[in-house]
Amino acid sequence: MRYKGGGKGIGEIARELMVGTILEGSVRKAGERLRITVQLIDSSSEEHLWVQNYDRRLEDVFAIQTEVAQNVADSLKTQLLDEEKERIEKKPTENIGAYTSYLKGRYYWNKRNKESLEKGLRYFEEAIKRDPKFALAYSGIADSYNILVEEGRITRSESLVKANEAAAKALELDDNLAEAHTSLASLLDFQWEWIKAKEEFAKALRVNPNYATAHHWYSLHLYDLGRLDEAIKELKIAEELDPLSPIIHACGASYYLAARNYELATKEVDKALELDPNFAPGHYHRVWVYLAKSMFKEAMAELERTVPLFEPLSTSSKAWIGAAYIIAGRTQEAKQFLRECEVASAHERAEENTPHGTWALAIMHLQLRSKDQAFECFEKAFEARTLSPFAKLWPFLDELTSDPRFDELVRKSGAYERLPPNS
């Protein structure tokens, strides 16, 4: 929908998406009938390679999808492999209402804020009520809990139970579903089961090598293990497959921050916010890019715009806000957030903390010249497996991660021992 009414020509759109052909279409719904117009356009000549109108019943939508995919392949003189034919002919559900709810769930899930994530979760649950055997919807539930815990919106223990149950159900219903294997792989990452996680990512990409989220989350797996160059390479594939995803570009900003390439980090942030000006993770990363470039005035102005997007603030959110303040020299504001975080942490178990909250607390302690307390944060996080070796990559932590105690902490945690020799 990004290009609807945007006034951009076919050639310009094709260049942005890095494609040679554009599939354009419109859908009109009247009662229980659909009228669909689809056209395949050559981006260089802007000539129509194929045009087709469909006037069908709503319940025929999956058959239309299959027919369109086959006609596009024929127009491009492309021979589909057997597994590709099987994938496009596969019906995810017989219930159109369930499928509609699932699509709405994914739409809100992609927005990545608390309200939208919870709304998306309700749509996935509604899809399952309509069709209890709808595997994709269970995968959506697993992914919702996955992101909610990452943002500190739900306890880790509660989230993992519900997410694992949903991912297991999805695979029980359809063991050949890339989304379900990706959901499980990401959850295994949370639990430091990196060998099993890598196996699940491999299954997902074998089933559907064009699933952008699988490439995105596999890049996070590599990043967690400190393999930054490989993570960036994998993320670029995700960006090529889904160039209109704000979260993938925001993730790219994080990787380039870790690589200390602030120019590319800025470009990724700009792209994410061009796609969605209210995208909270995009604004979050822009704050850190400014801080990394010592543009403290700009960072604080951006922070003021960003905080409302994260409300109500979780302990994790308060921690990184405090860290941003202290790096910018706003020590008093930072101390207030630190006190609030410490009060909250006294009532929370270590395993409920998020990686973002942990390193943010460590940054605050470090800037306040309390290096030992910063290491205490890391020790608790490693014990609870909420912080992996990726911390060594993050800017502002160099003084901690270059300390021999950090490598000793990683060694004691057994993190590296859990990896295969060539992982």
Q: What angle do CA 108, 113, 118 make, to 5 degrees?
A: 60
Q: What is the DSSP string of 21-58?
A: EEEEEEEEEETTEEEEEEEEEETTT--EEEEEEEEEEG
DSSP secondary structure letter of residue 350: G
Looking at residue 353, its pLDDT comes to: 57
For residue 126, being part of any structural domain is answered with no
Average pLDDT of the residues in 267-295: 95
In this predicted structure, what is the pLDDT of residue 362? 85
d(CA 202, CA 150): 23
8 SS3 class: coil
Is 84 strand, coil or helix? helix
- Element containing residue 144 per DSSP (H, E): helix 135-150
Per-residue pLDDT of 13-37, as tens digits, reads: 767 676 777 777 777 766 677 677 7
| pLDDT at residue 151, rounded to an integer | 66
Q: For residues 212 and 374, which has the higher predicted lDDT (pLDDT)? A: 212
Query: Does residue 324 contact residue 299 with C-beta atoms inside 8 Å?
Result: yes
User: What pLDDT sits at residue 183?
Assistant: 97
Note the pLDDT of residue 288. 95
**Structural domain includes residue 369:** yes
Cα dihedral across residues 279, 282, 288, 289: positive or negative:
negative
Say if 331 falls within a structural domain: yes
Report yes or no: 319 and 364 within 8 Å, Cβ to Cβ: yes
pLDDT at residue 92 in the model: 79
pLDDT digits (tens, 9 = 90+) for 191-228: 888 899 999 999 999 999 999 999 999 999 999 888 89
Which residue type occupies 289?
A: V
Beta-bridge mates of residue 56 = 34
User: Is residue 373 situated within a structural domain?
Assistant: yes
Span 347-366, mean pLDDT? 70
What local confidence, expressed as pLDDT, does residue 361 receive?
Answer: 85
Dihedral, 304, 307, 309, 312 alpha carbons, nearest 10 = -150
Cα distance between residue 214 and residue 203, in whole Å = 10
The DSSP bridge partners found for residue 26 are 37
pTM summary value: 0.82
Q: Is residue 207 part of a domain?
A: no
Lowest mean pLDDT among 114-128, 147-161, 365-379: 147-161
Smallest CA-to-CA distance from 397 within 369, 368, 360, 354 is with 360
Number of domains observed in the structure of the chain: 2
Q: Is pLDDT of 398 > 50?
A: yes
Residue 30 within any structural domain of the chain: yes
pLDDT at site 1 = 46
pLDDT at 377: 83
Q: Which of the given ranges, 10-14, 52-56, 173-177, has the highest pLDDT on average?
A: 173-177
pLDDT band at 53 (very low <50, low <70, confident <90, very high): confident
Reported confidence tier of residue 184, pLDDT bands at 50, 70, 90: very high
Last residue of one domain, picked from the residues 91, 123, 149: 91
User: What is the average per-residue pLDDT within 275-285?
Assistant: 94
- 351 Cβ neighbours under 8 A, 6+ residues apart: 156, 157, 384, 385, 386
DSSP letters spanning 175-187: TT-HHHHHHHHHH
Q: Does residue 182 have a pLDDT over 90?
A: yes
pLDDT for 359: 79
Through-space distance between the first and last CA atoms of the chain, rounded to whole angstroms:
39
**Residue 24 falls within a domain, yes or no?**
yes
Least confident of 86-100, 212-226, 258-272: 86-100
Domain final residue pick, 59, 91, 123? 91
pLDDT computed for residue 343 by the predictor:
79
**Is residue 231 very low, low, confident or very high in pLDDT (cuts 50, 70, 90)?**
very high
What pLDDT shows up at residue 383? 78
Q: Give the separation between CA 95 and CA 132, rounded to whole angstroms.
A: 10
- In CATH, what number is assigned to the domain containing residue 87? 3.40.50.10070
pLDDT at 372 over 70: yes
- pLDDT confidence tier of residue 69, bands split at 50, 70 and 90: low
CB-count burial class (<10 Å; 0-12, 13-18, 19+) for 78 = exposed
Q: Is residue 372 part of a domain?
A: yes
Among residues 188, 190, 214, the alpha carbon closest in space to that of 201 is found at: 214
Distance CA 122, CA 80 (A): 36
Q: Identify the weakest region by mean pLDDT among 186-190, 220-224, 347-351, 376-380.
A: 347-351
For residue 35, the enclosing domain spans 10-91
Work out the pLDDT band at 350, boundaries 50, 70, 90: very low
pLDDT of residue 155: 74
Assess whether the previous peptide bond of 421 is cis (omega < 30° from 0): no
Q: Which residue has the higher pLDDT, 239 or 74?
A: 239
Question: Taking all residues of the chain, what is their mean pLDDT, rounded to a whole number?
Answer: 84
Q: Tell which of 91, 117, 148 closes a domain.
A: 91
Nearby residues of 52 by Cβ (< 8 Å), 6 or more positions away: 37, 38, 39, 68, 71
257 Cβ partners below 8 Å, 6+ apart? Answer: 265, 285, 288, 289, 292, 394, 395
